[in-house]
A and B are shown apart, each in its own frame.
Chain A
Amino acid sequence: MSRRPHPPKPPGWASRLLAALLPWQYRDEHLGDLHEAFLRRAASARAARRWYVRQVLRSLPATLRLRYQTRNDNPSGIRMETFRQDLRFGIRALLKSPGFAIVSTLTLALAIGVNTSIFSLVSAIVFADLPMRDTQTVALIRTANADLDIEQGSVSPGDYLDLVERVRSFESLSALTETQWVLTGGDAPMRVEGLQFTAGLTETWHLPPILGRSFAAGEDREGAPPVAMITNGYWHDRYGGRSDVLGKTIRLDGVEHTIIGVTDPGLEFADFRRAQVITPLILNHADPNRSTRYLFVAGRLAPRVSQQAATAEVDRVSADLAREHPVENAGWRIWAKPMRDSLLDKQGNTILLFLQLTVGMVILIACANVANMLLARATARAREIAVRSALGAGRGRLVRQLLTESLMISVAAAALGLGFAWALNKALVLISAGQEAVFQMAKLDGRVLEFTLLVSLVAPLAFGLFPALRASASGPEAALRDGRSGDGGRAGKRARAALVTVQVSLALTLMVVASLLTRTVINLQTRPLGVDPEDLLTVRIDLPDAGYESAESRRIFFSQAQAATAGALSSDRVELVSALPGIDGGRRRSFVVEGREVVEGRAQPTALLVTVSTGYFDYAGMPVQEGRGFAESDDATSLPVALVSRALADRYWPGASPVGQRLQVSGEKEWIQVVGVVSDVRNVADTKQGAPNIYLPFTQDARQGMYLVARTATPAGLVAGAVRSAIRGVDADQPADAIRTLKRAIYENDADMTALVTLFVTFAVFALLMSAIGIYGVMSYSVSQRQNEIGLRMALGAERGNVRRMIVSQGARLLGWGIAIGLLASFALTRLLANLVFEVSTADTLTFVGVPAVLILVALVANLVPARRATTLDPAATLRAD
C-alpha cells in the first residue's frame, strides 16, 4: 500500500446525492457503511470510486422506498413532537437573549401594527359594506368634465329625468341628494341632517324599510301630501325604537311631515351616516334644472343586461344630451360604472395605493432589520449550532429550529401589533378631528385579522430563512475550532451589507414621498387666504323656505340678525358672506361674457358665486383694486352689479379692465354689470390657480344661507350662547350653527389631509430610524469582528483618524449604494404622484437633495459611534484577548 498524505475520498456528488435522498433515520449509518467499504477497497482508488458510485446508483430505488416507508409509517405525532421540541428550545433560546427578543419583537410589532391599521383603512374603503345590496347589478351614474378636472361629478335633474326616460339597460334608476332642515316643535329649534330620495330608491338599492313603507310613486311630485322616513339611528335616538312612530308628524322647515317608514340600518354608510330624516326628492318635470349638478344617481341593471351594455348605452345617451343641450352640457360627459369600480376617483386610488406601498416598505425595512439581527446572532450562536449539528442534527432540522424561533418572534409581534393597530386607529380618528368618516370606518374585522395572520406567517420566511440557511451551512468542525470565524465569513458580511443597502433605499423612497406630500400640504395651507382668519368669528344661518319665501323677508331677517349679533358681541359691525375663504366649495356656476362667443364642445368659464354684504370687503380686509366696491345704492331696484376677483379678471380680460363689462350666470336671465375687481382669496377646491370668484351684493341676491362674520377677541366658546339667543330673539325657530373662528374652521377642514401627511411623515421617520439602526448594527458588528485587525493596525502605529476613516468609508459605501438605488426607485415611483402634488415638481430639487442629505447625516452618526469605539479600544487589550 502506498503511503498517502490523505486517505482517498469517495466521490462527493454521489455521497451528497445519497445523503439528500436518504431519510434522516438511516442517513448516517448508510453513508458510514459505504465509507467503510470504500476505504477497504481504497488500494485501487478508481475501482473503489466505481464501486461507490455503483452502490449509490443501485441504492436509489431502495432509498425512495425507505423514504416512503418512513414517511408513511411515521405517525404525525413524531413531527408534532419535533415541533414541540422546537418551541421549547426556541423559548429557551429567546429567554437567554432577552435584548434581542424584545428589540426584534418590538420592531416587527410596530411594522405589523402600522400595516394592520392601514390595511383596515384600505379594506374599509375597498371592501366597504356599501349601502346597497346585491351590488354586482348596481351601476353608479356620474358625470365628468375634463376641462374642469372633474372625474366624479353629480348629475343634473334634467339629465337624470332624461336618463330615466331613455336608458333601457336599467330596471330602475333613482337619485338622492343631501339636505338639511330646521326641526321645530321641540324645546329649541334643531338642525337635522337629511337626504331626499326619488320614489323607488329603496327598491333600486334593495334596501326595503324595516318598518312602514317607502315613498310611493307620485309622492315625489309637487303638491303631494308631505311625508318623511326616518333613519334607523334617528329612530332609536329620538323615538327609542318604538313602532308607534308611524303616523306621527315631524315639523321640518315649518312644514308638518307624516312619518311613514324607518330605513334599513345598512343605509347609514360613510357620507350618509349623519342622515336622520328623509323626504321625497321633488323634481320639476316640466322645466328641470340642467345647469346645477347635485344628484347622486344609481341604477339597478335589468335582468340579463351586462354592465358593459349599460355603460355603452349611457355613453350614447350622454352624447345625445350633449348635442341637445349644447350650452348646459358643454364639456360634460355622463358615465356609468359598476358600483365598486366607481367609488374612488383616481386621486383616492393613488392615495390608497401609496399608503399600502408605504406600509409595505415599512414592514420590509423591519424585516431587513430583524434579518440583520438574526445574522449577527447566528454568529454568536455558531458554537451552539455546531454542537447540535455534531450531535446529529441535520441541516433541515437546524433550519426548522431557527425558523421556529423566527415564527415565535413574528407571532408575538403580530399579537402586539394588533393592539398597536387598534390604538393607531383610535388615534387617527382623534387627529382627524372627527371630520373623516373613513377613519371611523376602519375596523379590525375578520379580513384584517386574516391579513395580519398572513403577514406574521410570511414575515419569518422573509427575515428568518436566509439567516437560518446561512447559520446551518458552515460545517461543525470549522465553528468548533474557532468560535469567531463561524460567521459564514465573507458571504455573511456581504449578505448583511446587501440588507442594509436595501433598507437605505427603501427608507429613501419613503422619505421622498413623505417630503413631496408634506410640501404639497404646506403649500396648500400657506396659500394666501386673502383675509385674516385669526379672530374672525363665523356663524352659519340657513333659513328655511317656509316663512322666508320673499327676498325682502330674508333681507329683514339678516339685517336684524346682524344688529342682534353685534349687540351680543359688543362689536361695532357684523357683516355677511355666503362662502368662507378656505372652507366652502360653494356655488360653482358657469357664466357667459357679453360679446364673447360660446364655443361648442368647450366648457364655459365657471366661477364660485359669493354673496356679500355691502361692507364685507372693507371689513375682511380685501382691497378693491379697480372700479368700486358695493354701495348702499346697489339694491333690489337698481341694475344688478358684481365684483370679480383678480384671478377671474386676469383670466377672462387679460390686459384689459373688466369694469363696465357684462356677464350672465347660466340659468339666470339678467345680465350683471362688473363694477370692480377685488383681491383674491383662497377657495377650498382650487389647487392649480387663484380663485375665480364673482361677488354679488346681498341687497340684490338675498340668499337663505349666509355666514355672519365679526371680529372679536373673545373665544368662540364663550360667546356662542349669547349669539344663539340673539338669533333666537330675531326668529325663535332659527338655530345658529358652526360658531367658531375662521381659523378653527380651516383647521377642521384641513384635518383629514393633515392626518394623511402625518401618517406618511411618521412612516418616513420610522423608516429612517430603522435604517439608521440597521447601519449601526452592521458597522458595530463589523468593528467587533475586526477588533484584532484594528488593534494590530494601531499597535503598528496607525493613526486614530485613519482607522476611523477606514470604518466610516466602509459604512459610506453601503450608504452610497442604498442612496443610488433609492433615488432611482423614487424617480420611478413619484411619477405616480404627479396629480397629487401641488406646486411641487415630482423631481423637486429640495426633496431629491435634502432627503439624501438627511439620510446621510443620520447614517453617518450611526456609523461614527462604532468607528469611535473602534479607535478608543486599547490595542494591547484586544490583542491579549485573542
Chain B
Amino acid sequence: MPRGDYLGEFEQMVLLAVARLEGEAYGMAIVQELALATGSEPAVASVYAALDRLARRHLVKSEIGAPTPERGGRAKRFFSLLPAGVDALQRSRQVLATLWDGLNLDPGARA
C-alpha cells in the first residue's frame, strides 16, 4: 500500500484541529488549537505545509474569507474537512485502535 493512504501524526493532529474548529479553522486558530493540545506552538508555515499536502490529497478544502484590519488588510483562508478527510481520520483511528488492542505497555518497559 502506498504510504499516501495513511496520515502522518502531525497531519492527523491538523485534521482533527480543523474538525474541532467547525468552520472557524484558519491558520492561527489551528495553531492555537494545537498549542492547547500539545503545550507547544507549531510554526504557522508547517501547519500550512501540512494543509497544502492534505488539500492535494483532497482531504480538506479551503476558501478565502474577507480581509480584516487587524490582519493588516489580509484575508483569512478557512479550511474544512472533505468526506475523504473524515474517512481518512476514521481509518487512522481504527488502525491505531487495532494496534493498541490487547497491548499493555508498562510505563518503564521501553527497550
A-side interface residues toward B, CB under 8 Å? 22, 25-26, 28-37, 39, 55, 58-63, 65-66, 69-70, 73
The residues of B that contact A65 with a CB separation of less than 8 Å are 45-46, 49
CB distance from B19 to the nearest CB of A (A): 19
Q: With A55-B43, A62-B43, A66-B45 known to touch, is A33 a contact of B71 (CB < 8 Å)?
A: yes
B-side interface residues toward A, CB under 8 Å? 26-28, 31, 43-46, 48-49, 52-53, 56, 64, 67-68, 70-72, 74-77
The residues of A that contact B71 with a CB separation of less than 8 Å are 32-33, 35-36
Which of B28, B45, B70, B77 contacts A63 (CB under 8 A)?
Answer: B45
CB distance from B30 to the nearest CB of A (A): 9
- Of the A-B pairs whose beta carbons lie under 8 Å apart in the complex, a sample of 21, sorted by A's number, is A26-B52, A29-B27, A29-B48, A29-B74, A29-B75, A32-B27, A32-B74, A33-B26, A33-B28, A33-B44, A34-B28, A34-B44, A35-B70, A37-B28, A39-B70, A58-B43, A59-B44, A61-B46, A65-B45, A69-B53, A69-B56
Q: How far is the CA of A58 from the CA of B42 in the complex (A)?
A: 8
* Nearest CB in chain A to that of B52: its residue: A69
A66 and B74 form a contact (CB under 8 A): no
Which of B43, B64, B75 contacts A59 (CB under 8 A)?
Answer: B43
Q: With A39-B70, A70-B52 known to touch, is A30 a contact of B43 (CB < 8 Å)?
A: no
Which of B27, B64, B68 contacts A30 (CB under 8 A)?
Answer: B27
The residues of A that contact B48 with a CB separation of less than 8 Å are 26, 29-30, 62, 66
* Nearest CB in chain A to that of B72: its residue: A35
CB distance from B68 to the nearest CB of A (A): 8
The residues of A that contact B43 with a CB separation of less than 8 Å are 55, 58-59, 61-62
A62 and B49 form a contact (CB under 8 A): yes
Q: How far is the CA of A65 from the CA of B46 in the complex (A)?
A: 8
B49 and A66 form a contact (CB under 8 A): yes
CB distance from B7 to the nearest CB of A (A): 16
The residues of B that contact A39 with a CB separation of less than 8 Å are 70
Q: Is the interface of A mostly helix, strand, loop or mixed?
A: helix
Q: How far is the CA of A55 from the CA of B26 in the complex (A)?
A: 17
CB distance from B99 to the nearest CB of A (A): 28
| Extra 9 A-B pairs, beta carbons < 8 Å, given A33-B76, A63-B45 | A26-B45, A32-B74, A33-B27, A36-B68, A36-B71, A59-B43, A62-B45, A65-B45, A65-B49
Q: With A70-B52, A73-B56 known to touch, is A32 a contact of B44 (CB < 8 Å)?
A: no
B70 and A62 form a contact (CB under 8 A): no
Q: With A37-B28, A69-B52, A73-B56 known to touch, is A32 a contact of B72 (CB < 8 Å)?
A: yes
* Nearest CB in chain B to that of A60: its residue: B45
The residues of B that contact A70 with a CB separation of less than 8 Å are 52
CB distance from B49 to the nearest CB of A (A): 4
Which of A29, A35, A55 contacts B77 (CB under 8 A)?
Answer: A29
B46 and A29 form a contact (CB under 8 A): no
Q: How far is the CA of A28 from the CA of B45 in the complex (A)?
A: 12
5 tightest A-B CB contacts, nearest first: A32-B74, A59-B45, A62-B45, A32-B71, A62-B46
Q: How far is the CA of A32 from the CA of B48 in the complex (A)?
A: 13
CB distance from B61 to the nearest CB of A (A): 14
CB distance from B23 to the nearest CB of A (A): 16
Q: How far is the CA of A712 from the CA of B102 in the complex (A)?
A: 128
Which of A36, A62, A73 contacts B28 (CB under 8 A)?
Answer: A36
Q: How far is the CA of A28 from the CA of B48 in the complex (A)?
A: 12
The residues of B that contact A60 with a CB separation of less than 8 Å are 45
Q: With A39-B70, A59-B44, A62-B45 known to touch, is A32 a contact of B52 (CB < 8 Å)?
A: no
* Nearest CB in chain A to that of B56: its residue: A73
B44 and A28 form a contact (CB under 8 A): no
The residues of A that contact B56 with a CB separation of less than 8 Å are 69, 73
* Nearest CB in chain A to that of B29: its residue: A33
B72 and A31 form a contact (CB under 8 A): yes
Q: How far is the CA of A31 from the CA of B75 in the complex (A)?
A: 9
The residues of A that contact B77 with a CB separation of less than 8 Å are 26, 29
A32 and B76 form a contact (CB under 8 A): yes
CB distance from B51 to the nearest CB of A (A): 9
Q: How far is the CA of A59 from the CA of B64 in the complex (A)?
A: 22
The residues of A that contact B75 with a CB separation of less than 8 Å are 28-29, 32
Which of B31, B46, B74 contacts A28 (CB under 8 A)?
Answer: B74
CB distance from B93 to the nearest CB of A (A): 26
- Residue among A29, A55, A69 facing the most chain B CB atoms (10 A cut-off): A29
CB distance from B69 to the nearest CB of A (A): 9
Q: How far is the CA of A88 from the CA of B88 in the complex (A)?
A: 42
The residues of A that contact B26 with a CB separation of less than 8 Å are 29, 33
The residues of B that contact A59 with a CB separation of less than 8 Å are 43-46
The residues of A that contact B31 with a CB separation of less than 8 Å are 33, 37
The residues of B that contact A31 with a CB separation of less than 8 Å are 72, 74
Q: How far is the CA of A65 from the CA of B44 in the complex (A)?
A: 13
Q: How far is the CA of A58 from the CA of B67 in the complex (A)?
A: 25
CB distance from B10 to the nearest CB of A (A): 11
- Residue among B28, B48, B68, B77 facing the most chain A CB atoms (10 A cut-off): B48
CB distance from A759 to the nearest CB of B (A): 58
A22 and B76 form a contact (CB under 8 A): no
Which of A34, A36, A69 contacts B49 (CB under 8 A)?
Answer: A69
The residues of B that contact A26 with a CB separation of less than 8 Å are 45, 48, 52, 77
The residues of B that contact A33 with a CB separation of less than 8 Å are 26-28, 31, 44, 71, 76
Q: How far is the CA of A62 from the CA of B26 in the complex (A)?
A: 17
Q: How far is the CA of A29 from the CA of B76 in the complex (A)?
A: 5
The residues of B that contact A22 with a CB separation of less than 8 Å are 45
* Nearest CB in chain A to that of B50: its residue: A62
Q: How far is the CA of A854 from the CA of B68 in the complex (A)?
A: 61
CB distance from B73 to the nearest CB of A (A): 8
* Nearest CB in chain B to that of A65: its residue: B49
The residues of B that contact A63 with a CB separation of less than 8 Å are 45
- Residue among B26, B70, B76 facing the most chain A CB atoms (10 A cut-off): B70
The residues of A that contact B45 with a CB separation of less than 8 Å are 22, 26, 30, 59-60, 62-63, 65-66
